[in-house]
Structure 1
């Protein structure tokens, strides 16, 4: 029996290859696959370096600038250390000088006392008062054997009752030598002072009891003389609480308490 030959269908050149059509269908559904990154060439190696190490290493072209900046930073640190050293030495030298002067001169703050008070023109029946105070002050510099005091202008003395300033005046300008006690009288004046109802009532009650508490406050600029040296201008503050028997001339002082404070930046502990 003769062999049967089957006809073979010749593919149409216009039609896509049957073998490729499934691939094309799959590609259209899933999309094109991303291209793979090329790997290292044969004979090469990939070394991973930490980021901080890479940032610390300057580029070859910037190596010179890096050295210049490093030298500048070192010079700045050196100057800063030198300034701190000089400052410490200056503070130490001033402390030694202050201690030496203190041991040589032994400065002490003077004592101040209100020894007399005479009050006039104080009329409590008027709507406003215009009192006149004659204050006698004793400045005692007897404790200082080598320190003199220059009392300067621009001083201020006030007399007050219950926080209400009644009159004002000035501290006289003069020089007080060492081992000296000076007594002076200064006039304080007030004009058109309104006391207020509460203050007036308490002042009347104190007047009737014969015990009127007053405050005398002093601020005076001074210069201290130690041997041939003179200090810069400093401020002396004196606060005196004085109780008198009445608002009258030649009032009797029943009680007094004065405190002096020298606002003198670290001057030998004064």
Structure 2
């Protein structure tokens, strides 16, 4: 098998190449052609090595993986929420005051205060097909033109899908 590497022989600048580089009577093959030897021009810089590729540390890799995991989890959570919204199609329940009765109304002229009590009947309608609503108590406030008239407790109850419930409460 032939040797395809160039043969380099030391030659000083300005001196002719020796005659016996390739042997007696032998001509150089096309792979062994003589290359001219020249010195770099005065004042020129040596050729630069290509820049080394920067290697990223463990911290950078850990940060990148953390960002990828957070993005994947956010996309998965968004897709899950979108699917659940499309399946259940949630709607806000409707509340209507059916009856409001004043059971006590006292005016104290000396202290200029009013004490009152109300009885309220509220109808709650759940328009959802697949969602039941659990009311865990709470508070109901009746106001007129920004002035609070009374406050009372709302009872705990469960309202099934597509149903209507009527609640009676007393407020003082």
TM value normalised by structure 1: 0.41
Instruction: Provide, for residues 125-164 of structure 1, a one-character-per-residue CA deviation record: whole Å limited to 9, x for no partner.
Output: 64211111111111100x21110011103x1111223333
Name 1:88's counterpart in structure 2: 71
1:166 equivalent to 2:149? Answer yes
Q: Distance in 2 between the 1:87 and 1:162 partners?
A: 49
* Offset of residue 105 of structure 1: 1.3
Q: Could you say what secondary structure the match of 1:115 adopts?
A: strand
Trace 1:31-50 onto structure 2 (pairs within 5 A): none
What is the aligned partner in structure 2 of residue 109 from structure 1? Answer: 92
Residue 76 of structure 2 aligns to a residue whose secondary structure is: helix
Three-state SS of the structure 1 residue aligned to 2:162 is: coil
Residue in 2 aligned with 1:128? Answer: 113
Q: How many pairs does the alignment contain?
A: 117
Cα RMSD for the two superposed structures: 1.8
2:169 counterpart of 1:186: yes
Unaligned runs of 5+ in 1: 1-69, 190-270
TM-score scaled by length of structure 2:
0.62
Any runs of at least 4 consecutive aligned residues in structure 1 with deviations exceeding 3 A, and if so which?
A: 123-126
Distance in 2 (CA, whole Å) between partners of 1:109 and 1:161 is: 24
Q: Secondary structure at the match of 1:131?
A: strand
Higher helix share: 1
Which one has the largest radius of gyration?
A: 1
Quick one: distance in 1 between partners of 2:130 and 2:143? 35
Pairwise CA distance, 1:165: 2.0
Instruction: Say yes or no: does 1:146 pair with 2:130.
Output: yes
